[in-house]
Amino acid sequence: MSNINNDKHVDTELSLHILEKINCKNQKNDLIHAKSIPPVDDENIVNLKKNSCFKFDANLVQENIYKISKDIQLTEYIIDKDKKNFIFNHHSLKKLGKALAPFVAYGFLNGGSSSSYTDITKNKNSYPELFSIYQKEFDIISKASRAKPKGITPAYINPDGSLGEDFLALKIRSVLLKRMEYFKIYPTNREQIAYPLFQMDSVLNHDKIQKALLNYSDNKLIKDLADETGKSINIANIDTASQPLINTFKKNEKGEFEFFDNAYGKENAILPMPGGHGQNFYVLKDIYKKLLNRGIRYCYLSNIDNMGAVIDDASIAYLALSGKNAAFDFSKKTPADVKGGILIIDQNDKYNCGDIGVAIDAKEVDFAEIAQKNILFNCATGIFDLQYLVDNIDYVIDKLPLRLSSQKKDAGSYFQAEQVAWEIIGLIDDPLFFIVDKYERFLAAKMLIEGLMASGLYLDNENYPQKFKEITANLSDGLKYQLTNNYGMVLKNGRWIPC
């Protein structure tokens, strides 16, 4: 990155370029407009129900799988066939997805610095009825998370009130457990790195994350699994690239943008921030190429804070069979989904993901909900055909919109420029969408209150707001399911510990 300010880790050249861009009279921060909301039975929206059967053109899927591996015989995975089609069910898709493990990488977006996560103003404004209930736990985690990257902060609170394990450690553990599953089925393939890991951090949190990774080599969550898979977790085998920081902005008396320079009420105090997860396509470009050259054909991409974003073999298999270019998880929107994007058909007749309040007006979402339309909320998880992504990466980098959002936080009122990763949907030819269970696949703690809700604390409190009781109970059940089934944890004496 060019011209980095060593004190604040700011890319001054990039910040000035963005400042010029947003002040240009011809530059518009155009919002996406929802021309329509796709129906849940749309041909490109798939619900991978366990009791469903899925038909694929036999010749087409043979060709699609042959491009990935000549060793995979689809007749070993189908449950039936007719004159034209191969037929799969959820179980056979999972079995095929497991066989594709050596061709799948798992990546997480780890550049967050907890700026919104532990922000008192942001949490209070978003969940005013819950903040007072969770005040004690909020203060405890805020203190433990201070000056830490979000990825190495506690992902939950244990029932006994103690802090849970870090997001990053749990993510690594889930992938190691998937590797173990693969090696049990294919014991002769132990030299292969099933599900290689990669991440985007930021120049601000890079050193802290790397230090945490070194410490994980002795972590009880990681060590035994890493030894058993023969691939110890260290810096060398988690491909990492760091996104730059850019200045935040304010408006002057002339209505022009300039750098925000009074953070927390201090004079000449700038507030640098990462430029959004959409920067990953620029920052990770060389890593995507490296993975493709190593024979990886599909890559997962998810936010570090989503405990439900684990590797799903059935999704991988379905995407590979379909021959489509990417697949994204969406769940039915709930009242707790206040920060993120929804699936729409935009004004250009393209599928798109409109970030509420940033890329799409929140009133449009309200109108759709009043009309009782099934709104699908983005779960911040995607699987990409890596060949397609690499072939089109420069186009994505050039065309992914730059969004300017107004922020009111503890640091003050300012504008933040960022690229939203999931607006790539509007740039992709022939995308696929999976309807997933929010309470299994989308356990995102974009704000700390959401993480505390998933921890299931105080549900028996008579003052717990009724409108959040069902959601909180479902989030808590989802977290328990994930910790038990995908993170290899067991609840003992009020604490979640590794099995």
Residue located via tokens 């963005």: 18
Q: Is the dihedral of CA 336, 340, 342, 346 positive or negative?
A: positive
pLDDT of residue 191: 67
- Expressed as residue numbers, the domain containing 179 is 4-498
Other beta carbons within 10 Å of 229:
20
Largest CA distance in the chain: 74
Distance CA 37, CA 66 (A): 36
pLDDT of residue 432: 98
Distance CA 240, CA 220 (A): 23
| CATH number of the domain to which 484 belongs | 3.90.550.10
Other beta carbons within 10 Å of 146:
10
The single-letter DSSP state of residue 360 is B
Three-state DSSP class for residue 159: coil
Are 250 and 260 in contact by the 8 Å Cβ rule? The answer is yes
pLDDT of residue 188: 76
pLDDT of residue 3: 45
Q: What pTM value is reported for the model?
A: 0.89
pLDDT of residue 113: 65
pLDDT tens over the chain, length 499 residues = 344 444 567 888 888 988 988 888 555 556 778 788 888 889 999 999 877 899 999 999 999 999 999 999 999 999 999 999 999 999 999 999 999 999 999 999 997 766 678 889 889 988 999 999 999 999 988 888 877 899 999 999 999 999 999 999 999 999 999 999 998 998 877 667 789 999 999 998 899 999 999 888 788 888 878 777 665 455 457 999 999 888 999 999 888 999 999 899 998 898 888 888 999 999 999 999 999 999 999 999 999 999 999 999 999 999 999 999 999 999 988 876 777 888 989 888 999 998 787 667 777 777 777 666 788 999 999 999 999 999 999 999 999 988 888 888 888 899 988 888 999 999 999 999 999 999 999 998 888 999 999 999 999 888 899 989 999 999 999 999 999 999 999 999 999 999 8
* Number of domains composing the chain: 1
Dihedral class, residue 219 (left if φ above 0, else alpha if ψ from -120 to 50, else beta): beta
Buried b (16+ CB within 10 A) or exposed e, 353-390: bbbbbbbbbeebbeebeeeebebbbbbbbbbbbbebbb
